[in-house]
Chains A and B, each alone.
Chain A
Amino acid sequence: MRIRRLSGNRSHPDGKQKSPEAVWFIFVTACLVVLAIWTTELRTNIGDFFFPGDNTDSGFLAGQIQSEEFSRRYLISINHTGIADTTATKFTGKLILQLGKVNGVKRVWRAQFDDDDMGRLLDSYQGQQIHLFSLTPEKDFSALFRPEGLATQARTVKKALLGPDPMRTKSILEHDPMLLTLNWFKKIDRQFNHPNITAGYTSFFLETESSGLNTNAQSAIQKNLQKIFTQVNADFNQAFSIDYTGVPAFAVKIRNQSIKDVSRISTLSMAAVVVLSLLVFRSWRALLCTALMLAATVAVAVLITQLIFDHIHGLTMALGTTLVGVCIDYFIHSMVHAGNKTGKQRKQAIRKIWPTLITGGVTTVIGYIALSISGFPGLQQVAVFTGSGIITALILSRFVLPGLMELLNVAIMPAINLKSFLKIATNCGLRYGVLVMIVVTAIIGIPKINWGNDLNLMTPEIEKLKAKDIAIRSRMTSLQPGRFILIEGSTTEQALKTSESLLPVLNKLQAQGNLQTFYPPYPWLASQQLQSRNQQAWDAGLTPDILQSWEAELTNTGLNTAALPPIKNNSAPILDLDRVRDSPAWLLISRQFMLLPDKTTIAIWLGKHDPESIRSALANIPNSRYYSQKESIEQLTMAYRNKAQFMLILGILAIFVILLIRYRSFTSALRALLPAAFALLILLGIWGLSGSPMGMLHLIGLLLTAAVCVDYGIFFIENKSDNTTLTFQAITVSALTTSVAFACLGAAENPALHALAWTVAPGVLAGFLLCPLVLRKNNQGQGGYLNK
């Protein structure tokens, strides 16, 4: 291929007949761009992009991420390894105090409750000791009311009075003369005394006023957090280090990276397309014309996506910048065919190629529609964004471009001499040699494809953040991160009942050594049914004989019955979720609940465990299942990949059907597909031989490659201008700009975009180079490439 001197712009006799529509177009484009910038809400919420709402497991994750309360929290960990405990306490206390004063910080609290918190907790549960007494109230109250039970309880009262906090005991005894609160407290005590908590770290929570997904506010808070930490640390000779995690930390990191990627890719791809256009056309007017068309196209795509989804995701914008590379094909193809004509001739030239553009556009849109039904929520946005952009580009090419070229006095002729290439490419020996090489590469390479799990690639830096998150959380709890039991119910009551029915099973697993520990909602909260049963069992057991026996046991134990309030029927109201939400307990257990209007999901956190034992134990308990975040994401990835594979095949079939309808010839339809098919074969073959992992994103890239390359096949075989060289020139410019635009994705930090870059860019180049190699002139039909 050789670039020769360009013909440049020319004035023409009809140059003064400016199109008023074109002037209006420029005005409307300016308005659309302003409107798009003004109204666009750019989001970087990872939950939106990754988790479909139709799957409960992923829905729980998405719900957790999107949960207002949960999303506002940071978990902060201070490393004080090798520093005296007392110094660390001073430092942490000072830091917490200072952080609590930061604008936008709602509250800061330690991961472990202190004595005051414990007092508030006990106060908030005052009167609930009977309702929450037991999972088997009839049996346990009966045991309590036996003489030995009463004797034990009387000894418990005495021991508590003689324990480390007699004043608190006395305070509880005023409302709970049998000190049943202690039974409750023993059950929850393990929540405060996790085994295996890493020494040398202190963890605490920070909750912000604004949502964790409000990245502007969170960014400011993170800056303040770092600033205050540095200030306080300066008083301690910089002896401490800080780590923090949580949805706001993830959100800000991802936003920053998305913004950086969007601006980097868009700048780079714009610059590359400008340079390429100038190199090929050497016409600023042509460039201005293309830029105006692209601005209008992108603005319409943004507005339509915003209208449908109420927001645009950062990754959509990043992927959407490739729209420039796809849509520019139609403008360039039209401009090349109409470039050396004027007035009516220009309109006629574009009208002539319009069916070809439509066919190309429809096949590309089909590729994106296939993407949208792949089940990956983020790609639905990308499909709408790019699909609406392509349709806009086609309409503009047909109805606006001729007038705009007229207005801007654009007359171009790409100065790329492709005659030599076309001559070499049509050489039979070379043609068959290349084709055989492609087929052999595919046969050897495709079976070696290494299918990898690349969903994690979609979230930039997410693996590092996740590893940090797990490390921080493991310092404060013995929980197995990302593994828990999920329980569903149409109401909270139903979910609580199911969780209560699970507890004997989990106790058994614990006794068998298959489960180290677990954290159910009980005894923080019990179903109303269980609370009522406790109440009834208590009231039924309080006979005059029992009251008398209790007094006797108190006396035997050395307790003064006259100073203790009598035991009586319980009149406290049943504990409900709203009251728990108002209590300090909610700080500890809120993450275990996902409350939706029509469904409640409860998570039971697990300590070290044997997954298979848990799974089989839960097999017969409806509405409960073992959940592993890792396995769930792997399954989700596999499901996405399988669907993407299916969509790739379906997309290509759909494109073939469209071509069949258009050409009414099986051979022609097949021939239009051939460059794309061979491009895919060589990509798959090389990918397999390289051994690099290939996943859903690469399949999406292949689908896009097919959709774009089919355009070139169509343009080439239809050859509406009856000028193969001119058609191939147009395709060359289109393919170069598309390749360059996609290759620019490789400059992103997000590795997901790399997968697309290194699939689509070489695929498109291969597709266009293969057009003259694969397609033979047959002298039968229009343009000489179609079978009629």
Chain B
Amino acid sequence: MVVLTPVLASAEDTFDIVLERLQFKESQHFHYQETRHLALLTQPWVATGELFITPEGMIIAQQSPTSILTKITENKLKYFDDERDVRRSIHLKRPFDVPGMAPFLQMLFRDKQQSSPEEHYNISFSLEQERWLLVLSPRLADRNKIKAMTLSGSQGKGPDFLNLEYTDGDQTEWKLSLLTHGHDVANILQKALDKINEEDDFED
């Protein structure tokens, strides 16, 4: 079921416009701040870094508190923790079914999905104080135990805030600031990957 809040003015964002805007069109380069609120931690945990959205998927280059690189493609998640010398490769059974990030990635790469997000999530759309807001909640019990995902951004712009709420009450927030988009992103990303590839076979 898609619940649509009435659109107040024709110039304002609508569900369809936002959905269209979310879908990948060109590479984007963000600065991000991730905050995890976990019951098992005495303090919220904060990480910052750069996030790239490319035609193949997403690359998260965490810079603090430690350097960690995560590469997500349609069928694989590769995780490289420089400090702990941990390398993980997870084969994804469904496209972009990354624990925690699945709804966001599936909306970004809708054309690579076998089904639309509406089939798996109840989606509500609203406009509040010059910002659009999308809330997705799984129709069925989610394997990744996500209760709801909230995505929002300024009117006429892409997303700058993502909040994942888990069934056990834990939450993860992402704050995104767009740095560049278009062709420049590929060069920046390539430099970042080249630096990593000198030391490791991170790339396929």
Q: Which chain A residues have a beta carbon within 8 Å of chain B's beta carbons?
A: 85-86, 89, 110, 112-116, 118, 158-159, 161-168, 170, 173, 189, 192-193, 199, 555, 558-560, 563-564
Contacts and interface: CB of A to CB of B under 8 A. Distances in A.
A558 to B, nearest CB: 5
A89 B74 contact: yes
B40 A559 contact: yes
B70 A164 contact: yes
A115 B43 contact: no
> Which of B42, B74, B112 has the most A CB atoms < 10 Å from its CB?
B42
Given A118-B90, A163-B79, A559 B41 contact: yes
Interface of B: 36, 38-43, 45, 47, 56, 70, 73-77, 79, 81, 84, 86-93, 95, 97-100, 112, 143-145, 166, 168, 170, 204
Contact of B89 (A173, A192, A555): A192
Nearest to B78: A164
B91 A173 contact: no
Contact of B91 (A112, A162, A558, A563): A112
Contacts of A86: 56, 73-75, 112
Contacts of A164: 70, 77, 79, 88, 90, 98-99
Nearest to A84: B56
27 contacts: A85-B73, A85-B75, A86-B56, A86-B112, A89-B75, A114-B91, A115-B90, A115-B91, A115-B92, A118-B90, A161-B36, A162-B36, A162-B45, A163-B79, A163-B86, A164-B79, A164-B90, A164-B99, A165-B99, A167-B144, A167-B166, A168-B99, A170-B168, A193-B87, A199-B204, A558-B45, A559-B40
Contacts of A165: 90, 99-100
Contacts of B95: 89
A558 B84 contact: no
B92 A560 contact: no
Contacts of B112: 86
Contacts of B77: 164
A115 B93 contact: yes
A87 to B, nearest CB: 10
A560 B91 contact: no
Given A114-B92, A192-B89, A563 B40 contact: yes
B142 to A, nearest CB: 9
B99 A167 contact: yes
A555 B56 CA distance: 41
B40 A173 contact: yes
A189 B89 CA distance: 9
A264 B99 CA distance: 61
Nearest to B98: A164
A91 to B, nearest CB: 11
Contact of B39 (A158, A159, A563): A563
- The 10 A-B residue pairs whose C-beta atoms are closest, nearest first, are A89-B75, A114-B91, A114-B93, A86-B74, A165-B99, A563-B39, A164-B79, A563-B40, A167-B145, A116-B93
A559 B38 CA distance: 9
A192 B90 CA distance: 9
A560 B75 contact: no
Contact of B43 (A159, A166, A558): A558
Given A114-B91, A158-B41, A559-B41, A85 B204 contact: yes
A163 B66 CA distance: 12
Interface of B is mostly: loop
A232 to B, nearest CB: 15
Given A115-B91, A166-B38, 14 more contacts: A85-B75, A86-B56, A114-B91, A114-B93, A115-B93, A158-B41, A159-B81, A161-B40, A162-B36, A164-B99, A166-B170, A170-B170, A192-B89, A560-B41
Interface of A is mostly: helix
B118 to A, nearest CB: 21
A167 B144 CA distance: 7
Contacts of A166: 36, 38, 99-100, 170
Contacts of B93: 114-116
A558 B41 contact: yes
Contacts of A193: 87, 89
A559 B168 contact: no
Nearest to A115: B90
A282 B125 CA distance: 99
Nearest to A165: B99
A555 B42 contact: yes
A170 B74 contact: no
A167 B87 contact: no
Nearest to A119: B143
Nearest to A89: B75
Contacts of A170: 40, 168, 170
Nearest to A157: B40
Given A89-B74, A166-B36, A115 B97 contact: yes
Given A113-B91, A164-B70, A199-B204, A564 B40 contact: yes
B90 A560 contact: no
Nearest to B47: A162
B50 to A, nearest CB: 17
A57 B89 CA distance: 36
> Which of A112, A165, A173 has the most B CB atoms < 10 Å from its CB?
A165
> Which of A161, A168, A199 has the most B CB atoms < 10 Å from its CB?
A161
A114 B42 CA distance: 33
A452 to B, nearest CB: 43
Nearest to B76: A85
B200 to A, nearest CB: 12
Contacts of B168: 170
Contacts of A159: 81, 84
Contacts of B170: 166, 170
Contacts of B76: 85
B99 to A, nearest CB: 4
Nearest to B92: A115
A776 to B, nearest CB: 82
A199 B88 CA distance: 18
A708 B97 CA distance: 73
A158 B40 CA distance: 9
Contacts of B36: 161-162, 166
Contacts of A118: 90
A168 B88 CA distance: 14
Contacts of A115: 90-93, 97, 99
A235 to B, nearest CB: 14
Contacts of B38: 161, 166
A312 to B, nearest CB: 46
B87 to A, nearest CB: 7
A110 B91 contact: yes
Nearest to B168: A170
Contacts of A161: 36, 38, 40-41
> Which of A113, A563, A564 has the most B CB atoms < 10 Å from its CB?
A563
A280 B169 CA distance: 98
Nearest to A155: B84
Contact of A560 (B42, B89, B98): B42
A560 B88 CA distance: 26
Contacts of A89: 74-75, 95
A163 B98 CA distance: 12
Contacts of B90: 114-115, 118, 164-165
A563 B39 CA distance: 7
A256 B109 CA distance: 49
B166 to A, nearest CB: 7
B40 A560 contact: yes
B90 to A, nearest CB: 5
A527 B93 CA distance: 34
